[in-house]
A = this chain, B = another copy of it.
């Protein structure tokens, strides 16, 4: 009917999400309906499996198994962080030819789109009919073109829910609480904490995203002012905060991350026997022979210590929300789950169209009766690879804050209904 007859390969790449397996399973269940897809192979750990010929036979799997996997967080095929070299990409393409692979689906972020693009270039050069589709996923929500990324809604639901609970906790035992949220270059997930604001004095009271420059003195002023006003402060900080602000960073420049800067002030004076030995230095050692701790995961603790020492506040705590943001199984957004499934299905539908060549599946909102509905479309691989999207400048107010109404309108349908905190009828505290 549509595309050429042959086999299909699918892989998962990058940091997992809570719904990445929905896309994966959506593609398999749709592929079963297309007779031009003869067999379907799942590459173990993405390009690593493609390089080493490690595949799972997917059409063999019973439906009930696939449906169970769809509901399971993290990449069922295994994931990978490695970006292939040109040579490796060529090697993969050559093995695809040997395996009569005509359909290649790669689930991931912008790096995966680039990998897909490179492999597609080899096919184009040789006139080999390979249909390459990138299936988007990332909790960072930083892919270009698409309205939003599958995986983000569930991560945002987790983050917003953490802040709803933590806002109650912080009201019950007052103090300063700093929560560090994932998203090294984009502030979407950190900003999602704002959905926790259900009543006027709720936190997060302060939100710091990587797009805006972070200044420690200004941060301390903000915390001081907020604490004086509310008797407490709930703070949302992106792991990617940096001195310049991503908005001001030009192509080729690197952000000076606060985590790196603060991390450089910490040294860990390990006993001799736990120090790295000989050439096996997998951790950095400073000029004094001390081991450096990674700054990122301890940025929250260091910021808390600085708040404690600089301001007169005794109860200051920090949490780094960590991996549950991308893998927690009980905070999956319904719309996110459905859309993740849909992009998997639509990737196969697109690939089996007669004229299809390559592309990435993207989401677009349908503006009609005011309700939330999306549709998918195809965008060229080149339009999503390499670069990433920042938090839109239109959602930043003149005084450098996030416009909660505009961002909330965008975000709420992706996250779904959140638990509403109860409060006494007369404002008590």
Residues of A within 8 A of B (CB): 12, 15-16, 18, 21, 44-45, 56, 60-62, 65-81, 157, 161-162, 164-166, 168-169, 171-174, 177, 216, 265-271, 273-276, 280-283, 291, 293-294, 297-298, 300-302, 305-306, 308-310, 312-314, 317-324, 326-331, 419-426, 428-429
Complex Cα spacing A74 to B165, Å: 7
**Structural contact, A282 and B308, CB atoms closer than 8 A:** yes
Which one of B62, B74, B165 lies within 8 Å of A168 (CB-CB)? Answer: B74
Chain B residue nearest to A271 in the complex (CB): B265
| Cα–Cα, bound, A297→B320 (Å) | 10
- A76 adjacent to B310 (CB under 8 Å): no
Cross-chain contact of A275 among B45, B309, B327, B421 (Cβ < 8 A) = B309
Q: Hey, which chain B residues are within 8 Å of A71, CB to CB?
A: 419, 422
Of B15, B162, B173, B421, the residue contacting A81 (CB under 8 A) is B173
Q: Are A65 and B301 interface neighbours, CB within 8 A? A: no
The 3 closest A-B pairs by CB, nearest first: A68-B422, A165-B327, A319-B322
Residues of B within 8 A of A426 (CB): 60
B293 in contact with A168 (CB, 8 Å): no
A360 vs B253: C-alpha distance in the bound complex, in angstroms? 63
- Chain B hits for A269, CB < 8 A: 265-267
- 28 CB-based A-B contacts, threshold 8 Å: A15-B173, A16-B172, A16-B173, A61-B425, A62-B425, A65-B424, A66-B422, A72-B422, A74-B168, A74-B172, A76-B168, A77-B172, A78-B429, A79-B172, A161-B328, A161-B329, A165-B323, A166-B323, A275-B309, A276-B310, A282-B314, A283-B308, A294-B301, A297-B317, A297-B319, A298-B298, A320-B320, A330-B331
Contact B324 A168 (CB under 8 A): no
Q: Which residues of the other chain, B, contact A268 by a CB distance below 8 angstroms?
A: 265-266, 302, 305
B265 and A283 contacting across the interface, CB-CB below 8 Å: no
Nearest-neighbour CB distance to chain B for A294, whole angstroms, equals 7
Chain B residues, Cβ within 8 Å of A162? 324, 328
| Interface contact A78-B172, CB-CB below 8 Å | yes
